[in-house]
Amino acid sequence: MKARVHVMLKTGVLDPQGEAVRHALGAMGFDGVQAVRQGKVIELDLAEGATRADVEQMCEKLLANTVIESYSVELA
Amino acid sequence: MKARVHVMLKTGVLDPQGEAVRHALGAMGFDGVQAVRQGKVIELDLAEGATRADVEQMCEKLLANTVIESYSVELA
Protein backbone atom coordinates (compact mmCIF):
# COMPACT_ATOMS: atom_id res chain seq x y z
CA MET A 1 0.00 0.00 0.00
CA LYS A 2 1.02 3.59 -0.48
CA ALA A 3 0.84 6.54 1.87
CA ARG A 4 1.45 10.18 1.13
CA VAL A 5 2.41 12.57 3.91
CA HIS A 6 2.32 16.36 3.62
CA VAL A 7 4.46 18.31 6.06
CA MET A 8 3.89 22.07 6.16
CA LEU A 9 5.11 24.78 8.48
CA LYS A 10 2.32 25.74 10.89
CA THR A 11 0.39 28.91 10.24
CA GLY A 12 2.27 31.81 11.77
CA VAL A 13 5.69 30.20 11.43
CA LEU A 14 7.82 32.27 9.06
CA ASP A 15 8.46 30.44 5.78
CA PRO A 16 11.51 32.03 4.14
CA GLN A 17 11.55 29.46 1.32
CA GLY A 18 7.97 30.24 0.38
CA GLU A 19 8.64 33.94 0.66
CA ALA A 20 11.64 33.60 -1.68
CA VAL A 21 9.46 31.79 -4.21
CA ARG A 22 6.77 34.48 -3.99
CA HIS A 23 9.36 37.18 -4.55
CA ALA A 24 10.96 35.36 -7.47
CA LEU A 25 7.59 34.78 -9.18
CA GLY A 26 6.80 38.49 -8.88
CA ALA A 27 10.20 39.43 -10.32
CA MET A 28 9.55 37.09 -13.26
CA GLY A 29 6.33 38.90 -14.09
CA PHE A 30 3.78 36.56 -12.57
CA ASP A 31 1.37 39.03 -11.05
CA GLY A 32 -1.21 38.22 -8.45
CA VAL A 33 0.80 35.74 -6.39
CA GLN A 34 -0.35 36.77 -2.93
CA ALA A 35 1.28 34.18 -0.73
CA VAL A 36 3.36 31.03 -1.07
CA ARG A 37 4.01 28.31 1.48
CA GLN A 38 6.46 25.53 0.76
CA GLY A 39 6.47 22.16 2.43
CA LYS A 40 7.51 18.57 1.96
CA VAL A 41 5.67 15.62 0.50
CA ILE A 42 6.82 12.14 1.39
CA GLU A 43 5.52 9.09 -0.50
CA LEU A 44 5.89 5.79 1.32
CA ASP A 45 5.53 2.28 -0.10
CA LEU A 46 4.44 0.17 2.85
CA ALA A 47 3.90 -3.54 3.37
CA GLU A 48 0.26 -4.65 3.35
CA GLY A 49 -1.33 -4.31 6.76
CA ALA A 50 0.23 -0.98 7.68
CA THR A 51 -2.30 1.37 9.21
CA ARG A 52 -2.84 5.10 9.38
CA ALA A 53 -1.70 4.94 13.02
CA ASP A 54 1.67 3.51 11.90
CA VAL A 55 2.18 6.37 9.48
CA GLU A 56 1.17 8.92 12.11
CA GLN A 57 3.79 7.41 14.46
CA MET A 58 6.39 7.87 11.71
CA CYS A 59 5.35 11.51 11.37
CA GLU A 60 5.48 12.15 15.10
CA LYS A 61 8.85 10.49 15.55
CA LEU A 62 10.74 11.36 12.36
CA LEU A 63 9.01 12.98 9.42
CA ALA A 64 7.68 16.17 10.99
CA ASN A 65 8.99 18.53 13.63
CA THR A 66 5.69 18.95 15.41
CA VAL A 67 6.87 22.05 17.25
CA ILE A 68 6.73 24.05 14.04
CA GLU A 69 5.26 21.72 11.42
CA SER A 70 1.90 20.11 10.88
CA TYR A 71 1.34 16.96 8.86
CA SER A 72 -1.46 15.21 7.08
CA VAL A 73 -1.62 11.58 5.98
CA GLU A 74 -3.38 10.20 2.89
CA LEU A 75 -3.58 6.46 2.35
CA ALA A 76 -4.02 5.08 -1.16
CA MET B 1 -7.97 31.05 -5.44
CA LYS B 2 -5.49 28.48 -4.24
CA ALA B 3 -3.23 26.15 -6.15
CA ARG B 4 -1.14 23.30 -4.85
CA VAL B 5 1.86 22.08 -6.81
CA HIS B 6 3.65 18.79 -6.15
CA VAL B 7 7.22 18.49 -7.41
CA MET B 8 8.77 15.02 -7.31
CA LEU B 9 11.97 13.60 -8.72
CA LYS B 10 11.22 11.61 -11.86
CA THR B 11 11.13 7.83 -11.62
CA GLY B 12 14.65 6.51 -12.04
CA VAL B 13 16.33 9.61 -10.63
CA LEU B 14 18.16 8.71 -7.44
CA ASP B 15 16.49 10.23 -4.36
CA PRO B 16 19.06 10.28 -1.54
CA GLN B 17 16.72 12.18 0.79
CA GLY B 18 14.01 9.56 0.40
CA GLU B 19 16.56 6.80 0.80
CA ALA B 20 17.82 8.39 4.04
CA VAL B 21 14.25 8.53 5.37
CA ARG B 22 13.67 4.88 4.46
CA HIS B 23 16.86 3.86 6.23
CA ALA B 24 16.07 5.93 9.32
CA LEU B 25 12.54 4.49 9.58
CA GLY B 26 13.98 0.97 9.40
CA ALA B 27 16.54 1.77 12.10
CA MET B 28 13.73 3.10 14.32
CA GLY B 29 11.90 -0.21 14.10
CA PHE B 30 9.27 0.64 11.49
CA ASP B 31 9.26 -2.55 9.45
CA GLY B 32 7.83 -2.92 6.00
CA VAL B 33 8.83 0.45 4.60
CA GLN B 34 9.76 -0.64 1.09
CA ALA B 35 10.48 2.65 -0.61
CA VAL B 36 10.33 6.36 0.13
CA ARG B 37 10.34 9.29 -2.28
CA GLN B 38 10.54 12.84 -0.99
CA GLY B 39 9.42 15.88 -2.91
CA LYS B 40 8.18 19.42 -2.47
CA VAL B 41 4.70 20.80 -2.13
CA ILE B 42 4.11 24.45 -2.89
CA GLU B 43 0.83 26.16 -1.96
CA LEU B 44 0.08 29.34 -3.88
CA ASP B 45 -2.54 31.97 -3.07
CA LEU B 46 -3.40 33.53 -6.42
CA ALA B 47 -5.54 36.44 -7.50
CA GLU B 48 -8.92 35.50 -8.95
CA GLY B 49 -8.72 34.74 -12.64
CA ALA B 50 -5.46 32.82 -12.56
CA THR B 51 -5.61 29.69 -14.67
CA ARG B 52 -4.02 26.28 -14.60
CA ALA B 53 -1.89 27.38 -17.55
CA ASP B 54 -0.45 30.22 -15.44
CA VAL B 55 0.55 27.80 -12.70
CA GLU B 56 2.05 25.41 -15.24
CA GLN B 57 4.14 28.29 -16.59
CA MET B 58 5.38 28.96 -13.04
CA CYS B 59 6.34 25.30 -12.72
CA GLU B 60 8.16 25.20 -16.05
CA LYS B 61 10.05 28.42 -15.39
CA LEU B 62 10.79 28.31 -11.66
CA LEU B 63 9.21 25.74 -9.42
CA ALA B 64 10.42 22.51 -11.02
CA ASN B 65 13.63 21.48 -12.71
CA THR B 66 11.96 19.59 -15.53
CA VAL B 67 15.16 17.77 -16.46
CA ILE B 68 14.90 15.65 -13.32
CA GLU B 69 11.58 16.59 -11.71
CA SER B 70 7.95 16.17 -12.62
CA TYR B 71 5.15 18.32 -11.30
CA SER B 72 1.41 18.18 -10.87
CA VAL B 73 -1.00 21.05 -10.31
CA GLU B 74 -4.21 20.97 -8.26
CA LEU B 75 -6.51 23.98 -8.24
CA ALA B 76 -8.85 24.52 -5.31
pLDDT in tens, B49-67: 999 999 999 999 999 999 9
Q: Is A58 near chain B, with CB under 8 Å?
A: yes
Q: Tell me the pLDDT tens digit for each residue of B25-57.
A: 999 999 999 999 999 999 999 999 999 999 999
Where does the pLDDT of residue B13 fall: very low under 50, low under 70, confident under 90, or very high at 90 and above?
very high
Q: Hey, CA dihedral for A15, A38, A9, B14, is it positive or negative?
A: negative
Q: What is the pTM of this model?
A: 0.93
pLDDT at B55: 97
Domain total in chain A: 1
Length of chain A: 76
pLDDT at A29: 96
Question: Which range marks the domain in which residue B28 is found?
Answer: 2-75
DSSP, collapsed to helix, strand or coil, labels residue A72 as: strand
What backbone torsions phi and psi does residue A55 show, to the nearest 5 degrees? -65, -35
Q: In the predicted model, what is the mean pLDDT of residues B11-30? A: 97
Q: Has residue B15 got a pLDDT over 90?
A: yes
Cα–Cα distances in Å, from B44 out to A29, A42, A73, B20, B26?
15, 19, 20, 29, 34
CATH number of the CATH domain containing B7: 3.30.1280.10
pLDDT at B76: 86
> Distance between CA atoms of A36 and A42, rounded to whole angstroms?
19
- Chain A interface, best mutation among B13, B42, B56, B71, by max A CB count within 10 A: B42
Using the 8-state DSSP alphabet, how is residue B76 labeled?
-
Q: Which ipTM value was assigned to this complex?
A: 0.92
Using the 8-state DSSP alphabet, how is residue A19 labeled?
H
Among A32, A57, A61, whose Cβ lies nearest the Cβ of B47?
A: A32
Residue ranges in chain A modelled with pLDDT below 50: none
Where does the pLDDT of residue B20 fall: very low under 50, low under 70, confident under 90, or very high at 90 and above?
very high
Q: Residue A36: name the closest of B10, B62, B67, B8 by CA.
A: B62
